[in-house]
Amino acid sequence: MKPPVMKHWLRGAWAVLCKDLRLELRSRYVLNALLVFVLSALLVVVLAAGADRADARVQAGLLWIVILFAAGLGLGRAFVAEEDWGTALLLRLNTAGSMVYAGKLAFSLVTVFAVNIVLVTAFLVLLSVEVLHVGLLAATLILGTVGLSGTTTLLAAIIARTARSGPLLPMLLFPLLMPLLLAAVEATHLSFAGNAAGAWTAAASALLAMTGFAGVVIAASVLLFDYVWLD
C-alpha cells in the first residue's frame, strides 16, 4: 500500500475499533457476560476438583476449555449487533471489508486479553496452580488469544445473518480450533510442570504450531473477508 492509502486504511480500522469500544464501555454487554460466565465456570471447576489437586495436564485443559467457551459466548455478537442495529450497511458503504475485519479483530483481541487476565489469575489462585514458567504461560496465552480471536471474528461475520446465530459460534469454533487447543494445552501443561532446563525446548513445536495457525487464519480471513462481508 502507498503511504496515503495505508494511512486511510489505518484510520478506517481505528474508527471501527473506537466505535466498538465506545459501545462496549457504554453498555458493558460483552464484558459483563464474559465475567459472569468465567466466574461461574471457575466456581464449577473448583467445586468439582474439591480438595484433590488435579494433574497439570488436566488443569491446562480445563483452563483452555473455559477460555474457548468464554470467547464463543462473548464475541459471537461482534457482527450480529451490526445487523440488529442497522449499522452494517453504513459500514459497507464507508469502509473497506479489510478495515472492518481489522477493527473487529482488534476489539476481539482487547476484550479477550482483558478477560483472560482476570480468568487466568482467578484460575491460578482458586485451584492453587503453581506456574513454573511464567514467560512460557504468557507466550502461550498471547498466541492462543490471537488465533482464537482471528477465527472467532471471521466466523462471527459468517453467521451474523443466520436466524439462530447465537448458539452456532461455539459449535463451529470447537472443530476448527482443535489444532490450536491441542498445542495450547500442551504448552500450558509444560508451563505448569515442565522441567527448568528444557520447558521452552519441549514447547517449541506447540508454540510454532500456534503461531502458524494464527498466521494462516488471519491471512485467510483478510483475503476472504470481502466475500463474506459484502455478499
CA pair distance 227, 231, nearest whole angstrom: 6
Nearest to 184 by CA among 137, 219, 150: 137
Q: What is the pTM of this model?
A: 0.86
Specify the pLDDT at position 194: 67
CA pair distance 114, 90, nearest whole angstrom: 29
Specify the pLDDT at position 161: 65
CA pair distance 52, 197, nearest whole angstrom: 28
Specify the pLDDT at position 81: 67
Confidence of residue 83 (pLDDT cuts 50, 70, 90): low
Chain mean pLDDT for the chain: 81
Please state the domain count of the chain. Answer: 1
Measured at the alpha carbon of residue 97, what is the angle toward residues 8 and 104, in degrees to the nearest 5?
90
Q: Outline where 28-161 has alpha helix (H).
A: 29-49, 56-74, 80-85, 88-94, 97-126, 134-159
Domain residues for the domain of 152 are 3-230
pLDDT of 79 > 60? The answer is: yes
Find which of 49-53, 117-121, 209-213 is predicted with most confidence, using mean pLDDT. Answer: 209-213
